[in-house]
A and B are shown apart, each in its own frame.
Chain A
Amino acid sequence: MSITDDPHAALLRMEGISKDFSGIPVLHGVDFELRRGEVMALVGENGAGKSTLMKILAGVHPEYGGNIYIEGRVTRFRNTREAGQAGIAMIYQELNLIPELSVAENIFLGREPHGWGGRVDFAAMNRAAERILADLHFKAPVQTPVAKLRVGHQQLVEIAKALSLDARIVIMDEPTSALSEPEAAVLFAVIRHLQERGVAVVYISHRMAELFAIADRITILRDGRTVGTVGAQEIDRQGLIQMMVGERAERFFVKAGMPAAEILLSVSHMTRRNPDPARPALVEDISFTVRRGEVFGIAGLLGAGRTELLEALFGVDTGHTTGRMEIGGKEVHLRNPESAIAAGIALITEDRKSSGLVPRMSVLHNLTLAALSRIALCGNLLSSGKEAALGEKMRADLAIPIHSLDLAVELLSGGNQQKVLLAKWLATRPCVLLLDDPTRGIDIGAKYEIYLQLADLARQGMAMVLTSSELPELISLCDRILVLREGRCSALLDREECTPERILDAAAPAA
């Protein structure tokens, strides 16, 4: 066949793909093309339809309009297994591994090599797994339970699984969202390696720098339509953002400097022991102060203790925490999150689905969940009038663009969910706001709106403690940055000193 011999022929073509969810159109005739051995970045703001398009390709959504051609033949997958057999593997943002099973067992889950009578041939399985991992230059004992691996390594196990399926197309949805920068570098090396083997990679990410580093071509989606496909060399960051947001211009953000104000939050010798006494403390002997209107950054690699520190400041796991905390000069004793809320502290958690929001609850009930006392008539009796008023106020304050607060919050896009989460905590009227990676996995437009909100809150005198997995974000937003390394403070940098090099240097393990 001449088509397949041509290296530049499309391995995959998706034509006029349309899809709606319960009558709400998400894709309107999207075209997408993928060549053998290329890395294609798929970008667009949240809600542009990237994930939906890729889930159609992976057989997750079998009902759609339009056609998919693989090597020129019309194909229609009825389920993920058919897509897998056709050589399409998707690696989701939330990894699909079974934590208790070993690396090898995960790679060959459901396809274990077996001998007589269905007995699993563990030796053969482990050998095969080792071969695949060696291909990826990834050294891990294949019999280790996956739960014991770092997130970055778990992702490599997913990729190994895709390779073991002889995948020709590997789709990665926000693969670096949970990775530290060195882990991301390993991932990129693996992607290049896949490319050499002729595997085509679809790479979905919000991180501009990564796209230009790894992609050959970029397809831009906007509001469920294809804006265009360009070579990564032919376009710059500015141009790409222009295509993603359309009419709206790019908006850089740098927080204004901070006037000298009084100290609002003071933390001294905060230590959080590991529940397992044999292991080192999660956070050890951290002291810092935050002024009114200041954004105080916490930097560090994944697992350095960023989240654990913020949780400790919010009264989570007080049984293992020691240290002293003052707000406005008065010492506060946290017993639980309830007492932290009463003391004026709010924690925007890292993962909105698992610890920030109640997905199936309505937007309104999510907005008021942490501030129910504000809408109580007396004691335990809630006032639906007060609740509606508070909900409307928070929707207006944060400009949440939805027509009804009665929608389940899980139906909103990631950016809007994040706004609801922020509004939920602002409804408690805090004076100290702890933000754990508040722009994770949301699009540029929504990020910018969150930045504006934070700047506005700072002007109003809120003290904020912020972590982020993206260094540029941290540097542009924060007045000072504390760098964590293995639970300890390894540097405290003023604004002028905050450069990516210095932060990374302080964050990297000594060994």
Chain B
Amino acid sequence: MPPLASRLRSSLNHLAPFMGLISIFLAGAILNQGTFLNLYNQLNVLGRVSIIALPAIGMTLVILAAGIDLSVGSLVSFSSVLCAMLLMEREWSRASVAAILIGTLFLFFVIQGAVRLLLPSGGGLRWLPPVVGCAGAAMACWMSLQVVPAGFSTWMVLLMVPMVGAVLGAVNGLVIAKGKIQPFIVTLGMMSAAVGLAKFIAGKGGQIHAIYYEAAGYVAAGTVGTAPRSFDLLSSKIPLFGIPLLPAAGLFFIAAALLAHFILTRLKFGRYLYAIGGNEETARLSGIDVDKVKIRVYAFSGGLAALAGVLYCAAYTQGKPDAGLTWELDAIAAVVIGGTSLMGGKGSITGTVAGVLIIGYLANILNLQEVPSEVQDILKGVIIVGAVLLQQGIMGKWLRRLFRTRYE
């Protein structure tokens, strides 16, 4: 039976990200008493980290399954452009064609998968799922075709853009699983392809598509209309106690984190991810359809990245082909600071949430201290590596050596 000390140490390893979070919070509180602890500032940090937190949450699941997704930054860029164009354009554009085609594909797979789940296993009716899938997807496609001349609504972009992201993510997963190619290579390819795709649909060598709301003095010209007012809500602050405080993006962050946590702790799928990350061969021989799990986890990651693109579009009132430049690195950094092992099989969403907040607080504190941004980048790099050093217990080893106790 392991004595208390070793059990304490193992739980300390689990707690490392949270201790990091608490210490950085305390540091902020001490350095800038007034401003840092202010509720307004706290919620401001939440708003700032929320968008980048979404790809980090998807990345956590991918990394747990011993994968990596380098394409999330490009998918953010792509989906921000897609989102802006769907909202603004009043005629057929490359964006609407891409969104409707890929969205239809997504619905076909999801609907037939859902029907297959409902059917009794092993029975006949094999033709039913694809037929229902086709019918459902065709209906949705026809409905969205009607929408093009009027411009897409907020609800529709919130549904369609993540669908497109999920399909592109699923392509990652498909090539990784069936082609037996390292995730690093495949998602590196997608990273380049998705930026290209973003520039292609944007047109004119990748121009920025700005979002305008109907307002006095602004006149819609040519094929460009205005975005629905409700889209602005995505970047607004929701009133708490009558004061607009809680950033809407924060709600998406919280919801995504809760969903991912639920998947990892309560669903078979989550257990499969840990098993595949821990030992893929064992997972396969335990009856897990490893390929299917991989495709789904990359689709999940792509979908969350695309949702981040929509929120980016709302926050910065534009979609641009380099919106998510290097976001994949920030996402990986948050996951790693959160204690998830890049080897896979070990980690948690709570850790990633802590990781995201640590990065957010760090930037906030340094901004409040008026530290120049180049110094901030250096410090961020040090924190990433330092956090991992801490978690690997190397610091502990150094400390033990310092106070070396002889074994009896």
A residues neighboring B (CB under 8 Å): 18-20, 22-24, 63-65, 314, 316, 336-338, 340-342, 347, 349, 354-361, 365, 369-370, 372, 376, 379-382, 384, 403, 407, 424
Contacts and interface: CB of A to CB of B under 8 A. Distances in A.
Contacts of A349: 285
A357 B283 CA distance: 8
Interface of B: 1-3, 5-6, 9-10, 117, 266-269, 271, 274-275, 278-279, 281-289, 345-346, 406-408
A22 B6 contact: yes
Contact of A372 (B117, B268, B345, B406): B268
Given A22-B10, A336-B289, A369-B283, 16 more contacts: A18-B408, A19-B407, A22-B9, A23-B6, A338-B289, A340-B287, A354-B282, A355-B279, A355-B285, A358-B274, A369-B286, A376-B268, A379-B117, A380-B268, A381-B266, A424-B286
Contact of B286 (A337, A342, A359, A380): A337
A370 B287 contact: yes
Nearest to B8: A23
Contacts of A369: 271, 275, 282-283, 286
Given A337-B284, A338-B289, A382-B266, A361 B3 contact: no
Contacts of A316: 285
Contacts of A18: 407-408
For A22, A342, A357, the residue with the greatest tally of chain B CB atoms inside 10 Å of its CB is A22
A357 B279 CA distance: 8
B5 A372 contact: no
Given A337-B286, A357-B279, A24 B271 contact: no
Contacts of A347: 285
A361 B286 CA distance: 14
Contacts of A338: 287-289
Given A65-B408, A361-B275, A24 B3 contact: yes
User: Top 3 closest A-B pairs, CB basis?
Assistant: A65-B407, A358-B278, A22-B6
Contacts of B345: 358, 360-361
Nearest to B401: A63
Contacts of B6: 22-24
Nearest to B286: A370
Nearest to B404: A63
B271 A382 contact: yes
Contacts of A381: 266-267
A64 B1 CA distance: 21
Interface SS of A by simple majority: mixed
Given A22-B2, A23-B6, A382 B268 contact: yes
B89 to A, nearest CB: 39
B282 A356 contact: yes
Given A337-B284, A372-B271, A382-B266, A359 B289 contact: no
Contacts of B271: 365, 369, 372, 382
Nearest to B344: A360
A359 B343 CA distance: 13
A155 to B, nearest CB: 23
A395 to B, nearest CB: 15
A22 B1 CA distance: 11
Given A63-B407, A376-B268, A381-B267, A24 B2 contact: yes
Contact of A354 (B3, B267, B279, B283): B279
A440 B23 CA distance: 49
Nearest to B278: A358
A380 B266 CA distance: 8
Contact of A64 (B267, B269, B407): B407
A382 B279 contact: no
B289 A20 contact: no
A376 B272 CA distance: 14
A365 B271 CA distance: 8
A64 B346 CA distance: 29
14 contacts: A22-B5, A65-B408, A314-B285, A337-B286, A341-B287, A347-B285, A354-B279, A354-B281, A357-B279, A357-B282, A358-B282, A358-B345, A361-B275, A361-B345
B407 A358 contact: no
A316 B6 CA distance: 40
Given A337-B287, A341-B287, A360-B345, A20 B407 contact: yes
A131 B327 CA distance: 57
A20 B3 CA distance: 12
A355 B346 contact: no
A355 B289 contact: no
For B2, B274, B281, B285, the residue with the greatest tally of chain A CB atoms inside 10 Å of its CB is B285
A337 B281 CA distance: 11
Contact of B269 (A356, A380, A384): A380
A361 B285 contact: no
A359 B267 CA distance: 21
A227 to B, nearest CB: 21
A338 B288 CA distance: 7
A448 B361 CA distance: 58
Contacts of A370: 286-287
Nearest to B288: A338
Contacts of A358: 274-275, 278-279, 282-283, 345
A64 B408 CA distance: 9
Contact of A65 (B274, B286, B406): B406
Contact of A382 (B3, B267, B285): B267
Contact of B274 (A23, A342, A354, A361): A361
A360 B278 contact: yes
A472 to B, nearest CB: 28
A369 B266 CA distance: 13
A365 B274 contact: yes
Contacts of A22: 2, 5-6, 9-10
Nearest to B6: A22
Contacts of B287: 336-338, 340-342, 370
A19 B407 CA distance: 7
B282 A355 contact: yes
Contacts of B9: 22
A422 to B, nearest CB: 14
B283 to A, nearest CB: 7
B267 A380 contact: yes
